Structure 1
Amino acid sequence: MASDPQQLAVAAPAAEAPAWRARYVQGSFRGASFSSEQREGVGGRRVALNELPFRDEPVGEDLGRRAREWTIDCFVIGPDYMDRRDALIDALEAFGPGTYVDPWTGKQQQVFCEDFRYSESTDEGGMARFTIAFRESGVDKPITSSIDTAALSQATAAEIGGALPGDFANRFSIDKAASFVEEAATGLVDAAAIAAELSAASSGGLGQALRSFESGLRLIPGGAASLLRAPLALGQAIVGLVAAVAALAPNPRARLRTVEPLARFGADFDAAPRTTPARVRQADNQDAFVHLVRAAACAELVDAVADIRWSNQGDATATRDRIAAILDAHAIEAADAGEDLRADQFDALRTALARDIGARSAGLARGYRYTPRATEPSLVIAQRLHGFGRTMESQADAIVAMNGVRHPGFVPGGAALDIVADAAASGVRYG
């Protein structure tokens, strides 16, 4: 008798990885990442139900889809969990909607954080658990300023840099001056050339930028005798030399490191005594020359900052504070000397810097610092901090770019690293 086909044994299918795991990514909000355990979603339609007199059946009106809501149970874990906990709290409490990366689908959506709770205990040391309620915002992207603050910052820097040679020419002169006044002025030119050469040596420039710098460097000391008698040409040459030094750097962050020493030019100079008319002329020349180099370098710093794409508030704030401290010091020194025009120049640069960084870093998650115990690849560090997933490689690239690591396979141990909360989610480029 033939067997009933419905009673025949059926071979068990080969075990396969569930499709959902292939789509699973690390969740994040405003770039602050977290590991997810479960979520609940709420959706539906907005219905106005009208129950009319003397009518048994109600009349419903569909008013459209209701806003979707999600409740996420997640956690942050690791030796640096406190920094990651604080970064997530800052992101959840920030004003306005933010970008939420859904762990189960990888989709990015604009949501409000309506409520969150977190807990931590000594039983689960190194971990903070969160329960977060998100609500769909209906906004395609976060509201941003329509003002291009980076362009305004660079325009301010260009305007101030362009006015420097003319102002210098009105203050600098060796005409009919004693020989020691000319010798002192020559020494200033030589000192600027040496400072520029030392700054350029740290940038490793190549190609046309390097040839331009070398051409300008040869002009300064070699043509000092003629340039000293043409202050406008000398001012233009010095401003051009500072710009050439900045152009050698391969990216905006390297430009900051290269130009910052020039922004402090003359800090170790002895003040010239103002005991005779000749000495007064020498002191005025030194004062004008030092300001020329410093102001040109400060304008380059502000211009470079405008080209940096910020990834977290901590990095942006630290850079702002460091450059603003230089500008503040020069502005105070100029104001104390009665040089209101110079003080206004540094104040304008500082204002442009703060406005630009504040506008372009608003809403970003705060970064944190992590110190690896041993030298190891950036990919290993990214996996340890953020786990496996689509963002792991971008996190490794961010570690290299943010910390100036020479080789991604050998991140030095024992040195603190700046860590980006979630590079892929924030969609930033590292310049």
Structure 2
Amino acid sequence: MAWRDQWQEASFRGVKFRFRSAAGALGRRNVVHEYPGRDEAYVEDMGRKAREFTFEAFVIGADYMRWRDQLEEACEKEGSGELVHPTRGRMQVAVQDCRPTENIDAGGMASYALTFIQDGGNLNPSVRVDTSAAVDIAGDNATDAASKDFSKSFKVDGMPDFVNNDALATINDAMDGIRAAANGMMPDMSILPAFNAAAGGILGKLTALMRLPTDLASGIAGQIAGLRALGTSPLSAFNALATLFQFGKHAQTSGYVPAVPVTPARIQQASNRAAVQTLVRRIALIEAAKASSSVKYASREEAIALRDNLVAKLEAEAEDGAAPDPVYFALTDLRVAVVNDIQTRAADLESLMQYTPRATVPAIVLAYQIYEDPERDEDIVARNRVKHPGFVPGGRALELLTG
């Protein structure tokens, strides 16, 4: 296309004008620092200069006065307006200067020296709450409350051997559950050896750790937190942690014998079991909440579904009759932080829709028909588990993003 074909008719706020020449002033805003005893100056770049455009413009014709008045009215209006630059296209500008000239020797014409400044708008700094960080902070507080509650409930010192042995078995069950959660996902193989070594370290000194409930709680919590780092994505880590949400709610093995709290030793045996199982559930929920703040949700519906599931579990754990006030308040604060985080991030997500193609077509064709973007074919295939991207079956409802 020839350059003349690309020129546009100049106008400002919809009022057209003719022009003889157009010029501009571009560049950077530099501050030059010159120092005593130094020959070279230091130039500090303060950003791009405001772009300035000038025109030698005119209006002409038998009715030029009406045209002149319209252009001058447009130039005197408050605020910025749209300039159609003949070679640079449309832009928002403010009028810096408008100098009209009328000459008796050139009757029927008014000339102008027009100066415009490109206006980028008043972009005031905005404050946005880091909702993900709020989830992490609330999660750390909840972990601290859960660990302190465990330390108050778990005790083996001065207890009969059967209490010690039962506590060992319960903790081993917990570690088996944590390892099963790790094996159930696609773990990061570079981290897996360190994860297994940490688990072995806990089990290797378990007899000593049981007499230090605070350290034992820290070890178990750290091992569960390790699942979050082990996952190949925050969502895979969340799903692995979710397998521990109900830990201890049912018999762990066919040989499980409930502790009957009829003597002080039996009461402590039952307390130890409950303390370990409750700690695993609470820490799994807390770490899952932290993982949720890093999940990249594919749609608004996916985000809301995960939120509702997690919030219900946190609420149930907080309102468990055995939860003391510090744990209740910490888990409630975490639940509120999760809701705020997911709702904030979900607001910018696309929703899902149902679409039924009339005929079998390639995914790339369908992506262009729906989105005018053939590169979105992979999402169509993955979201609907299409066997072959060249044949998206017609007559079957597909789940697609709205935009």
Q: Any idea what the Cα deviations from partners look like across 1:356-390, whole Å, max 9, x if unmatched?
A: 011111143322367999xx9xx944643652766
Instruction: Give the Å deviation of 1:208.
Output: 3.5
1:216 matched to 2:216? The reply is: no
Separation in 2, partners of 1:399, 1:159: 42
Of residues 147, 169, 173 in structure 1, which corresponds to 2:155?
Answer: 173
Identify the residue that residue 301 of structure 1 maps to in structure 2: 288
Of residues 327, 331, 334 in structure 1, which corresponds to 2:314?
Answer: 327
Of residues 6, 13, 20 in structure 2, which corresponds to 1:45?
Answer: 13
Is the contact made by 1:252 and 1:304 (CA closer than 8 Å) also made in structure 2?
Answer: yes
Separation in 2, partners of 1:411, 1:140: 50
Of residues 157, 163, 178 in structure 2, which corresponds to 1:196?
Answer: 178
Identify the residue that residue 126 of structure 1 maps to in structure 2: none
Instruction: Give the Å deviation of 1:166.
Output: 3.8
Instruction: Give the Å deviation of 1:44.
Output: 7.4
Residues 250, 349 of structure 1: CA spacing in aligned structure 2 closer, same or farther, 3 A cutoff?
Answer: same
Q: Any idea what the Cα deviations from partners look like across 1:181-224, whole Å, max 9, x if unmatched?
A: 11221121111111112111122223442012111222333332
Q: Which moved more, 1:287-296 or 1:264-273?
A: 264-273
Is the contact made by 2:355 and 2:398 (CA closer than 8 Å) also made in structure 1?
Answer: yes
Of residues 205, 222, 225 in structure 2, which corresponds to 1:240?
Answer: 222
Is the contact made by 2:259 and 2:266 (CA closer than 8 Å) also made in structure 1?
Answer: yes
Identify the residue that residue 278 of structure 1 maps to in structure 2: 265
Which structure 1 segments of 5+ residues have no match?
1-42, 48-55, 69-137, 423-431
Q: Any idea what the Cα deviations from partners look like across 1:100-125, whole Å, max 9, x if unmatched?
A: xxxxxxxxxxxxxxxxxxxxxxxxxx
Separation in 2, partners of 1:220, 1:316: 35
Separation in 1, partners of 2:215, 2:396: 46
Is the contact made by 2:141 and 2:330 (CA closer than 8 Å) also made in structure 1?
Answer: no
Identify the residue that residue 53 of structure 1 maps to in structure 2: none
Separation in 2, partners of 1:296, 1:410: 46
Of residues 341, 345, 352 in structure 2, which corresponds to 1:356?
Answer: 341
Q: Which amino acid aligns with 2:338?
A: L
1:158 matched to 2:140? The reply is: yes
Instruction: Give the Å deviation of 1:420.
Output: 2.7
Separation in 1, partners of 2:264, 2:357: 61
1:186 matched to 2:173? The reply is: no
> TM-score w.r.t. structure 2 length?
0.62
Q: How many residues align?
A: 295
1:259 matched to 2:241? The reply is: yes
Q: Any idea what the Cα deviations from partners look like across 1:242-267, whole Å, max 9, x if unmatched?
A: 12222221001111111101122111
Separation in 2, partners of 1:412, 1:254: 28
Residues 365, 171 of structure 1: CA spacing in aligned structure 2 closer, same or farther, 3 A cutoff?
Answer: same
Is the contact made by 2:367 and 2:375 (CA closer than 8 Å) also made in structure 1?
Answer: no
Separation in 1, partners of 2:349, 2:399: 15
Identify the residue that residue 402 of structure 2 maps to in structure 1: 421
Of residues 348, 351, 358 in structure 2, which corresponds to 1:366?
Answer: 351
1:317 matched to 2:304? The reply is: yes
Q: Which amino acid aligns with 1:420?
A: L
Is the contact made by 1:168 and 1:288 (CA closer than 8 Å) also made in structure 2?
Answer: yes
Identify the residue that residue 188 of structure 2 maps to in structure 1: 206
Residues 171, 146 of structure 1: CA spacing in aligned structure 2 closer, same or farther, 3 A cutoff?
Answer: same
Separation in 2, partners of 1:301, 1:411: 38
Identify the residue that residue 94 of structure 2 maps to in structure 1: none
Instruction: Give the Å deviation of 1:329.
Output: 1.5
Of residues 216, 220, 225 in structure 1, which corresponds to 2:207?
Answer: 225
Is the contact made by 2:241 and 2:287 (CA closer than 8 Å) also made in structure 1?
Answer: yes
Identify the residue that residue 103 of structure 1 maps to in structure 2: none
Q: Any idea what the Cα deviations from partners look like across 1:4-43, whole Å, max 9, x if unmatched?
A: xxxxxxxxxxxxxxxxxxxxxxxxxxxxxxxxxxxxxxx9
Separation in 1, partners of 2:192, 2:185: 10
Q: Any idea what the Cα deviations from partners look like across 1:135-183, whole Å, max 9, x if unmatched?
A: xxx9899x98611111111222233224543442232110111222112
User: Equivalent residue of 1:239, what SS?
Assistant: helix
Separation in 2, partners of 1:384, 1:246: 37
> TM-score w.r.t. structure 1 length?
0.58
User: Equivalent residue of 1:246, what SS?
Assistant: helix
Separation in 2, partners of 1:158, 1:180: 34
Which structure 2 segments of 5+ residues have no match?
1-10, 16-64, 84-119, 252-256
Instruction: Give the Å deviation of 1:290.
Output: 1.6
Residues 385, 243 of structure 1: CA spacing in aligned structure 2 closer, same or farther, 3 A cutoff?
Answer: same
Instruction: Give the Å deviation of 1:304.
Output: 0.9
Is the contact made by 2:363 and 2:389 (CA closer than 8 Å) also made in structure 1?
Answer: no
Separation in 1, partners of 2:316, 2:203: 29
Q: Which moved more, 1:384-393 or 1:281-290?
A: 384-393
Identify the residue that residue 346 of structure 1 maps to in structure 2: 331
Separation in 1, partners of 2:169, 2:121: 61
Q: Any idea what the Cα deviations from partners look like across 1:395-423, whole Å, max 9, x if unmatched?
A: 524763x68x799869999999753333x
Q: Percent identity?
A: 27
User: Equivalent residue of 1:419, what SS?
Assistant: strand
Q: Any idea what the Cα deviations from partners look like across 1:270-292, whole Å, max 9, x if unmatched?
A: 76433221122112212221221
User: Equivalent residue of 2:171, what SS?
Assistant: helix
Q: Which amino acid aligns with 2:401?
A: V
Is the contact made by 2:145 and 2:327 (CA closer than 8 Å) also made in structure 1?
Answer: no
Higher relative contact order (Cα pairs below 8 Å, separated by 6+ residues) = 1
**C-alpha RMSD over aligned residues:** 4.0
